[in-house]
A and B are shown apart, each in its own frame.
Chain A
Amino acid sequence: MTSSENMAARQPRVGLFATCLVDLFRPSVGFASAKLLQDAGCEVHVPVAQTCCGQPAYNTGDRADTREIAEQVIEAFEGFDFVVAPSGSCASMLKKHYPGLFAGDAAWEERAERFSQKCHELISFLTDVMMVRDTGASLDAKITYHDSCSGLRELGIKEQPRKLLAKVSGLELQEMKDSDVCCGFGGTFCIKYSDISNAIVTKKVGNIDASGADMLLAGDVGCLMNMAGKLKRQGSSVEVRHIAEVLAGMTSQPPIAGSGK
C-alpha cells in the first residue's frame, strides 16, 4: 500500500499544536479545535511535549533558543500526518519560519522542510485540506471578523473563515473597516511599545464598535486578548471569541470579553 492509500484507508492523524496562549488562557479553543478536526474525520492527538512555537525568542533575535524550541516541536510532532494550530501566527512560525532556522545544517534543514509541509492553520486546514464546507453550527449573532496579520499575509487566509462562517445558521457577518489592519498586538511589541500598541488597538476597537456587530471573531488568541482587553477597558459589550468556538458550536464558556462582565 502506498502512503496515500494508507492515509485514505484510515483517519489522518493530526497533532494539535494548541499554542501557548490557548493552553494557558483559553482551553476552550483547544477543545473546539479538537472537535472541528474530529468532525472533519481526523484522529486528534495532543502531544505533551509542547510549550510554545518559539516566536518570543525568534522576534527578539534569539536564534539559539528559537532553534532549540523548534527542534523540540519538530521532534514531538513530525510523526503525525498533519500538524494543526488554531493560530495563523504560530502555524506560520512552524510552516514558514522553521526551515530558515536551520540554514547551513542540511540534515535538520531537510527535516524542518518536510515538517513544514505538514503544518497548517486550523481553519484553512479544515477548508483546504479536509474540504469542510459546513461545520453544522448555528448561532444567533451579528459578528465581525478580524484578519490576523500572519494568517492573512503569510498564509493567505482571508476567504476560508468567511466561507465557513457563512454556513453558520443565524449568524450575520458585518465587516468592519480595515479588518486587515494590525490590531497592535505584535507579541512582545505590545509590552515593549505599550503606548503605540494602545494607539493601534484603540483605532481597531473603534472600527469594531462602528461595525455594529455584537461579537468579534478572529483566528488568533493573541490578537483576541489584545482587542478583548481594550474593549473591556472601554466598557464595550462586544463579545470576543475565537472563530473555532463558534464553528464548533461550543459557546457555553463565557467569552474572552463581553456580556459576561
Chain B
Amino acid sequence: MELAAKHFKASAAKALVDVQLQKALGNVEKGFIGKRQKAADALPEFDALRDNARDIKNHVLAHLDLYLEEYERNVIASGGTVHWAETAEDARRIVLDICQKAGARTVTKGKSMITEEIALNDHLSANGIEPVETDLGEYIIQLRGEYPSHIIAPAVHLNKEQVEGDFRRVHTHLPEGRDLSEPVALLGEARDVLRQRYFAADVGITGANFLIAETGTSVIVTNEGNGDLTQTLGKVHVVVASIEKIVPTLEDTSQILRVLARSATGQDMSVYTTFSTGPKRTEDPDGPDQYHVVLLDNGRSAMLGTEYQDMLRCIRCGACMNHCPVYHAVGGHAYGSVYPGPMGAVLTPSLNGIEETGQLPNASTFCGRCEAVCPMRIPLPKMMRHWREREFERNLTPLTARYGLKFWAFFAKRPKLYRLAVSFGVPLLSLFGGSSRRFHSLPFARGWTRHRDLPAPEGRTFLQAWAQREALKQEPGQ
C-alpha cells in the first residue's frame, strides 16, 4: 500500500461519517476488550508473565546479532536456507526469485503483516505469480483490493453483509439460493474455494510470530489452520519475518505465548500454534521440500539503541488498538499505514520517517490505555511524545500549533506578566460569557466550540481571589 499517513485528518473525517464502518467498529470494543480482561483476570501470574516477556525481549534486543547468528546456524543445520534482506525491495526480490526458481504460478499465503509491509502481493502479481491469501479476513480484503485495517483482524472494518456481497460478486459458481447470511456459511464457502488453491499452489508463504534461536524454528499462531496448510502443502515454504522476532529458546517462546493470545483475543492459546524446523526429512510423511527464511531489517536495526528500541518488543497482538479510543472512532484505514493504532503511531515513523507520518503520533489523547494493556509493557505514549519532539526539533510541527505554543509559553515562563495578562483577560472573558456563562462559539477556539460549548470563567482568577481573601484576613477588624 502507499503510505497515506499525511492524509490522516481527511481520512478520519470520512471514517467518522461512514455508517457501515462505524457499525463494524462497534465490534472491536465489544469483541476484544471484555475477553482480554477475562483471560487476564483468570491467570494470577498474568502480570508477572508480562514482566518476563518484556525481559526476554529486552535481553534479545541487547544481543540481537548473536541470536540472529545462532538462529541462522540452526536453520542451516536443519536443512533450511536463510536470506538476509536489508530493505523491503531486497525481500521482494528474494521471495520472487525463490518462487520463480520453483516455477510457481500461484502461491498461498498465511496471514503476515511483514508481507503487507513489503507489499509482496503486488510485486508477485506484477511478475505473473498469483498470491492467494488464505486467512479468511485477508482473503476477504484481497477480494476487495483493500489492505488490513487491523493487525490481527484484517477485515474488522467490514460487516457480514458486505462480505456476502463480495463473495457473490467473485465466486461466480455460487447458486443463487445459497444462504450466506451467517458468518459460518461464509467461512464454509471460503474454505471450499481455498481448499483447491492449497493443492494447486507451488509455494506457501507465511510470516512468523517467533523465530527460535536455539532450534532454528519458526512459529506461527492462527485460529483457522490455514497457516499449516499453506506451509505444508506447497513444495516450498518461505517464511518472511523481521529480525526482532527472535527469541532465544523454546522456553522463552512458551512464556511469551502465554501472554500473546490472552492479550489479542482473550484465548488461553490460539487454536493452532505451529512450529516449523527445516524442510521435510526423509522420515517425515509430508512437508515442503525447501524451507527458506527471509530475514527483514527494513529500518529496525536503526531503532536499536534509540528511544524507540522498546517498540521492537512488540508481538503484534493488537491489544493497543483494541483499547484505543482514537482507533475505535476512526478505524485502521484512516492511519494510512500498514500498522494502525498506537503501535503503528510509533512504528510507522520509525520505518518511514517522521516527515510524512507526523499526524500519527500526534493523534493520541495520551490516555495510556494502550500501555496499560500491552503485554510487552511498551511505553507507547512516551514514544509518541518522542516523535512529537523530533518533529518539533526539525520544525515539522504545523505552524499554527508552533506559534500558538510559543505565544503561550512566552507568558507561561513569565509568571508576573502572565498574572497581569490573565487578571485582565479572564474577568473580561467571564463578562462576555454573559448570563448563560458559556460560549456557543468563539473565534479563537473554534476547534473547541464547533462541537461543544466552552464554559465561561467564573470571574476573577483563583490567584486574584485567593490573594484578596488572604489580604482581608490579615487586616484586623475586617
Query: Which A residues are closer than 8 A to B by beta carbons?
Result: 18, 22-31, 34, 46, 48-52, 54, 56-63, 65, 68-69, 72, 76, 149-150, 153-154, 181-182, 184-201, 203, 225-226, 228-230, 232-233, 253-254, 256-257, 260-261
How far apart are B418's CB and chain A's nearest CB, in angstroms? 5
Q: Point out the residues of chain B lying under 8 angstroms from A72, CB to CB.
A: 413, 415
Contact with A along B397-411 (1 / 0, CB 8 A): 100011001101101
Compute how far the CA of A54 lies from the CA of B465 in the bound complex, rounded to whole angstroms.
23
For the A-B complex, the count of residue pairs with Cβ-Cβ distances under 8 Å equals 206
A229–B388 CB distance below 8 A: no
B16–A199 CB distance below 8 A: yes
Contact with A along B64-87 (1 / 0, CB 8 A): 000000000000000000000000
Looking at B112-120, B191-199, B209-217, B365-373, the stretch in contact with chain A turns out to be B365-373
Q: Given that A52-B412, A194-B451 are known contacts, is A181 also in contact with B369, CB under 8 Å in the complex?
A: yes
Q: Which 4 A-B pairs have the closest CB atoms?
A: A186-B365, A229-B452, A61-B388, A61-B392
Task: Specify the main secondary structure of chain B where it touches its partner.
Answer: helix
Q: Point out the residues of chain B lying under 8 angstroms from A30, CB to CB.
A: 462, 465-466
Q: List 13 A-B contacts (CB under 8 A).
A: A23-B422, A24-B426, A25-B455, A27-B459, A48-B415, A60-B388, A61-B385, A149-B368, A190-B448, A193-B12, A195-B16, A196-B12, A256-B455
How far apart are A222's CB and chain B's nearest CB, in angstroms? 11
B366–A253 CB distance below 8 A: no
Specify which of A28, A49, A153, A254 is in contact with B415 (CB 8 Å cutoff).
A49
Number of interface residues of B (CB under 8 A): 66
Compute how far the CA of A72 lies from the CA of B418 in the bound complex, rounded to whole angstroms.
13
B12–A65 CB distance below 8 A: no
Q: Given that A230-B452, A232-B438 are known contacts, is A28 also in contact with B390, CB under 8 Å in the complex?
A: no
Chain A residue nearest in CB terms to B329: A199
Chain A residue nearest in CB terms to B439: A229
B365–A200 CB distance below 8 A: yes
Specify which of A18, A61, A182 is in contact with B369 (CB 8 Å cutoff).
A182
B405–A56 CB distance below 8 A: yes
Counting CB contacts under 8 A, is B326 at the interface? yes
Counting CB contacts under 8 A, is B9 at the interface? yes
Counting CB contacts under 8 A, is B13 at the interface? yes
Counting CB contacts under 8 A, is B172 at the interface? no
Known: A59-B366, A186-B365, A194-B450. 6 other contacts (CB 8 A): A31-B466, A46-B463, A181-B369, A189-B364, A195-B16, A230-B452
Compute how far the CA of A203 lies from the CA of B330 in the bound complex, rounded to whole angstroms.
13
Residue among B367, B387, B405, B465 with max Cβ neighbours from chain A (10 Å): B367
Compute how far the CA of A72 lies from the CA of B419 in the bound complex, rounded to whole angstroms.
15
How far apart are A178's CB and chain B's nearest CB, in angstroms? 9
How far apart are A188's CB and chain B's nearest CB, in angstroms? 7
Specify which of A56, A63, A191, A260 is in contact with B447 (CB 8 Å cutoff).
A191
Q: Point out the residues of chain B lying under 8 angstroms from A34, CB to CB.
A: 466
B363–A57 CB distance below 8 A: no
Contact with A along B434-466 (1 / 0, CB 8 A): 001110100001011011111111111111011
How far apart are B436's CB and chain A's nearest CB, in angstroms? 7
B401–A188 CB distance below 8 A: yes
Query: Which B residues are closer than 8 A to A by beta carbons?
Result: 9, 12-13, 16, 325-326, 328-330, 362-369, 371-372, 385, 387-393, 397, 401-402, 405-406, 408-409, 411-413, 415, 418-419, 422, 426, 436-438, 440, 445, 447-448, 450-463, 465-467
Task: Specify the main secondary structure of chain A where it touches its partner.
Answer: helix
Q: Given that A48-B467, A194-B447, A199-B16 are known contacts, is A69 also in contact with B367, CB under 8 Å in the complex?
A: no
Q: Point out the residues of chain A lying under 8 angstroms from B392, CB to CB.
A: 60-63
B437–A260 CB distance below 8 A: yes
Compute how far the CA of A143 lies from the CA of B278 in the bound complex, rounded to whole angstroms.
63
Q: Point out the residues of chain A lying under 8 angstroms from B419, CB to CB.
A: 48
Specify which of A48, A189, A195 is in contact with B13 (CB 8 Å cutoff).
A195
Q: Given that A24-B426, A27-B460, A61-B391 are known contacts, is A257 also in contact with B413, CB under 8 Å in the complex?
A: no
B458–A69 CB distance below 8 A: no
